[in-house]
Amino acid sequence: MSQHTNDYGQPVGFPLPDWQPRAWPSYETFTGDYCRLEPLNAEHHGRELYAAYALAEDGRDWTYMFAEPFADEAAYIAYARQLENGRDPMHFAVIDPVSNRAVGSLALMRIDATNGSVEIGHVAFSPLLKQTRMATEAHYLLMRYAFEQLGYRRYEWKCDSCNQPSRNAAQRLGFQFEGTFRQAIVYKGRSRDTCWFSIIDSDWPQVKQGFERWLAAENFTAEGTQREKLEALRTLR
């Protein structure tokens, strides 16, 4: 990025003379080749999500979430009712189009329409969703919405510095590590250092290319095994 200076010769950020605040995200349904995202609704999705999460062997998927594992279906549905129709975060259920059942959820959050920045968070993927084409496509659909439909400049990922799987996922998806905010949060009776990652609008064309190459049918064998990793297809010219 070229250097810019003001009338005093001081370095300043590059100009954005035509910048206008962006629209707030809306609750929409996003349909891909492998999954569908729907606004989270406790009545429609609650039982399916609880059943999907209950397939996990233990509660470790909730260690780095703000919520705890749910004792029963009623507890999860009560929690889901608190999430639906929120202005920020905005939660979406991930639907498997084969079974037509909800198998996970994620949210747009810390929405800053004035500056064109949004974070993806509250990523709660069940065993039915983890490490599938659906999981990757769910992230792609919301990223594409933020950058291409809303015109946002920045898309963030933050996680507990101890959560190595989340850190690995962010980098696999194309986020760049920006640093660690030390002692940023107290949650569940413990201190959290928070790792920050981002994708910005100038990164998006290359990130999008990687997603679309990876998600293409020809990248998978008849048994559903990937031929090339997402990271390799993002850097391939």
Write out the E strands in 30-100: 30-31, 36-39, 90-96
Residues 226, 214: contact at Cβ < 8 Å?
yes
Q: What is the pLDDT of residue 237?
A: 66
Q: What is the pLDDT of residue 3?
A: 74
Residue 119's nearest CA partner among 36, 182, 197 is: 197
Q: Where are the domains of the chain?
A: 21-235
* pTM: predicted TM-score of the whole model, two decimal places: 0.96
Summarize the chain as % helix, strand, coil (round to 5): 30, 30, 40
Residues 56, 126: contact at Cβ < 8 Å?
yes
Q: What would the CATH number be for the domain defined by 21-235?
A: 3.40.630.30
At 61-112, the pLDDT tens digits run 999 999 999 999 999 999 999 999 999 999 999 999 999 999 999 999 999 9
Residues of the chain with pLDDT under 50: none
Q: What is the pLDDT of residue 162?
A: 98
Q: What is the pLDDT of residue 235?
A: 86
Residue 83's nearest CA partner among 136, 45, 48, 26 is: 45
